[in-house]
């Protein structure tokens, strides 16, 4: 619209002073064309900046999640060291060794890990590890593992969150709905019969072949207190271990309606964003 006004003004001035408008109009059009080209380039430049802003925003989200995960892993290392009478030696503290391995897989820098080992034994504030059990509709249960410096304050914050989602805390008795087991996930090696023989040799209780994202895997089950040893023996048998962790495995799963499931997902997202929450377990199908 601004360009049309400029051309009209040029024509009116040419008529007023008896000047043929043709050359002036062509000159004006050339100026306008150059301006449009410049504007187009600027627009592209701004569009590129917008894309870069989006990239930086996405990276910031990833970095924030990474930092949160590192914080939780540091908490778990502190707990593992404290509960082993301030033993910060992963060669004799198997639980600490397992957490360190998880931290390495999460790309935690070696310097950060070493710093945790150095400072944990001198920490004045004791990091406590515990569990809060939540009950929702239709028999749904979420077990919340936490590691924090102030358990009372943490539980108060959880209660505030639960009121918003219509869930509530429940007695620890709901844990009987789960089996607490060490679970070592490995790549397939040989057939299931051979894997069963190996499970017996490494003191695992069971092994199952499962499929995850169209990839078949073995899951070896054992008591949590021998998890590290069973995993090491499987490594000695040349199994490629994908993960090894102690998990609450639900004995039965419950189905929720779409609205109930949506609320449960929202609650879990809020819980996972809490820096004191280290792991969630549930019985939701």
Residue 177 within any structural domain of the chain: yes
- 206 and 159 both lie in a single domain: yes
- 81 and 189 both lie in a single domain: no
- 217 and 86 both lie in a single domain: no
Residue 55 within any structural domain of the chain: no
C-alpha angle with apex 223: 276 to 269, nearest 5 degrees? 25
Question: Looking at residue 136, which CATH number applies to its domain?
Answer: 3.30.70.980
Residue 57 within any structural domain of the chain: no
- Comparing 207 with 68, the larger pLDDT belongs to 207
- The answer to whether residue 177 scores a pLDDT higher than 90 is yes
CA distances from 23 to 12, 26, 228, 233, 249 (A): 14, 5, 87, 90, 84
- 159 and 142 both lie in a single domain: yes
pLDDT at site 127: 82
* Average pLDDT of the segment spanning 112-127: 83
- 180 and 211 both lie in a single domain: yes
- The answer to whether residue 260 scores a pLDDT higher than 60 is yes
- 147 and 69 both lie in a single domain: no
- 196 and 270 both lie in a single domain: yes
Closest C-alpha to 273, from 130, 161, 163, 116: 161
pLDDT at site 266: 95
- 227 and 162 both lie in a single domain: yes
- 206 and 239 both lie in a single domain: yes
- 83 and 132 both lie in a single domain: no
Residue 14 within any structural domain of the chain: yes
Residue 56 within any structural domain of the chain: no
Q: pLDDT, tens digit, for every residue of 44-95?
A: 434 444 554 454 445 555 666 777 788 889 988 988 898 888 899 998 988 8
- The answer to whether residue 18 scores a pLDDT higher than 50 is no
- 72 and 40 both lie in a single domain: no
- 232 and 155 both lie in a single domain: yes
For 242-285, give the DSSP string: EEEEEEEEESS-B---HHHHHHHHHHHHHHHTSTTEEEEEE-B-
The Cα 215–Cα 20 span in angstroms is 79
- Number of folded domains in the chain? 3
Q: pLDDT, tens digit, for every residue of 126-176?
A: 788 899 999 999 999 999 999 998 999 999 999 999 999 999 999 888 999
The Cα 201–Cα 182 span in angstroms is 16
Q: What whole-number percentage of the chain has pLDDT above 90?
A: 54
Which structural domain range is residue 38 located in?
Answer: 2-50
pLDDT at site 54: 54
The Cα 64–Cα 273 span in angstroms is 10
pTM of the model: 0.70
């Amino acid at each position: 619209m601004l360009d049309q006004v400029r051309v009209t003004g040029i024509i009116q001035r040419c008529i007023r002073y008896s000047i043929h408008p043709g050359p002036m109009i062509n000159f004006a059009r050339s100026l306008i064309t150059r301006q449009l080209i410049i504007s187009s380039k600027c627009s592209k430049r701004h569009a590129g900046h917008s894309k870069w802003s989006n990239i930086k925003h996405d990276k910031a989200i990833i970095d924030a999640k990474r930092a949160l995960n590192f914080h939780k892993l540091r908490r778990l290392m502190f707990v593992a060291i404290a509960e082993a009478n301030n033993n910060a030696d992963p060669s004799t503290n198997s639980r600490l060794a397992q957490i360190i391995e998880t931290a390495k897989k999460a790309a935690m820098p070696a310097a950060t890990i070493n710093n945790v080992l150095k400072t944990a034994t001198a920490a004045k504030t004791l990091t406590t590890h515990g569990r809060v059990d939540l009950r929702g509709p239709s028999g749904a249960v979420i077990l919340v593992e936490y590691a924090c410096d102030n358990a009372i304050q943490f539980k108060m914050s959880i209660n505030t969150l639960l009121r918003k989602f219509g869930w509530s805390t429940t007695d620890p008795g709901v844990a009987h709905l789960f089996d607490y087991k060490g679970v070592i996930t490995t790549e397939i090696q040989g057939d299931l019969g051979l894997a069963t023989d190996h499970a017996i040799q490494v003191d695992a209780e069971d092994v199952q072949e499962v499929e995850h994202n169209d990839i078949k895997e073995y899951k070896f089950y054992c008591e949590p207190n021998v998890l590290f040893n069973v995993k090491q023996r499987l490594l000695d048998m040349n199994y490629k271990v994908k993960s090894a962790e102690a998990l609450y495995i639900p004995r039965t799963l419950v189905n929720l309606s779409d609205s109930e499931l949506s609320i449960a997902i929202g609650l879990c997202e809020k819980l996972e964003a809490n820096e004191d929450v280290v792991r969630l377990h549930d019985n939701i199908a």
